[in-house]
Structure 1
């Protein structure tokens, strides 16, 4: 074969490969077969239900009465009288608050106070602290701005 013939043959292969690739990537994907759908449902532990059967199931759902208010969850709120003496460390009264179930963690409360620079601005006194208060509310109560 001559050089020119070889180039023409290679160019023909390139063009045909390009056309086949373009046709492959631009054609819409084939719809899944029924066997594909069943395999997918089985793999994911699902079942298929006809639309009319689904509508019947949904319409049979019990509905909440309109005149009855929604149930509210009861949350216990603890109140603690925190007494901070002059010279008390934040670690000491944070452990008191943790023991009284006002805060979840004395360490995280100390970290909050240190992060916001409030450890040196805590005022001595007696404070009523509740368990529904967050760290910011407690620190506003016991520290001077």
Structure 2
């Protein structure tokens, strides 16, 4: 940049700043805001309805108006009722999984365990296989169709599939 061009730019910025500053300090915008606020606050306080008027307006519009203590009591009662109904429904809403599967030649106890895990009858296929081996009945797995459900005990599931 040339020196003349740079000094012209600086002079333009200085003149613009001086004009903006003069306009800012010459206007009386600060005192008008204060008077507007006081006028607004006076009109707002006069226009606010009383507590009983607000409750009546809300009730007529279909809202339920209650104190915090009433609300807390209502919530506590609802929790107690839901806990009672949940405890009574736990026994009647128990989900029972039933599976019918086919054992083919070449399947092992770990394969059967994986099928039972997918059917949500047992939790761990490897543990199932180890339990079968510990009982010494891993050779009793025969091809066929078997039916088990989640209501059966762990040992009943094993004895149903691995018959001697």
Normalised TM-score (structure 1): 0.48
More helix by share: 2
Q: Which one has the largest radius of gyration?
A: 2
Higher normalized contact order (CA 8 Å, seq sep 6+, divided by chain length): 1
| Alignment TM-score, normalising by the size of structure 2 | 0.43
